[in-house]
Amino acid sequence: MDDFEIELRQALERRPAPPGLKHRLMERRRWRRTQHQRGHAVLWQRLAASVALACALGGGLAWRHQQEQRQGEAARQQVLTALRVTSHALNKVNERLASHGRADQE
């Protein structure tokens, strides 16, 4: 190593960090951690709200589906009853017509 390199080495000695650098750094670190935690809390809140909304929507849809099924079943029962009544009435008419036919033959 020649004189020039020795001079360069002396010129490039480490400089002390500015006063208060560590303090400012620790402040930023604290602030960042708070933001990070707040970010996590907001994330969890959003997640919980999304889950609640999804549950409410799912529940609503399931309830609506059930209602429709119930109404469909009731309508089916009504149709069946109407068919049964009609069938009964037609049987009666048929019986009467048959009895009238027999009376005419006699």
Partner 1 sequence: MARDWQPQFERLVDEHQSMVFSLAMRMTGDRGLAEEIAQDVFLELDRHMDKIESPQHACFWLRRVAMSRSADALRRRRVRGVDLWVEIEEDYGARPEEKSSPLGARLEGLLVTLPQPQRAALVLRYQEDLTPEEIAATLDAPLATVKSHLQRGLKLLRAKAACHLREYIRGA
Q: Which residues bind partner 1 (CB under 8 A)?
A: 4-5, 7-18, 21-22, 24-26, 28-29, 32
Structure tokens belonging to residue 63: 């309830």
Distance CA 67, CA 19 (A): 73
Angle (nearest 5°) at CA 96 between 91 and 98:
90
Q: Supply the minimum distance, in Å, between the C-beta of residue 62 and partner 1.
A: 45
5 or 104: whose CB is closer to partner 1? Answer: 5
Q: Supply the minimum distance, in Å, between the C-beta of residue 36 and partner 1.
A: 10
* Residue tagged 């017509």 (tokens): 97
26 or 42: whose CB is closer to partner 1? Answer: 26
Q: Which stretches of the chain are DSSP H helices?
A: 3-11, 21-105
Q: Supply the minimum distance, in Å, between the C-beta of residue 22 and partner 1.
A: 5
4 or 105: whose CB is closer to partner 1? Answer: 4
Residue type, 75: A
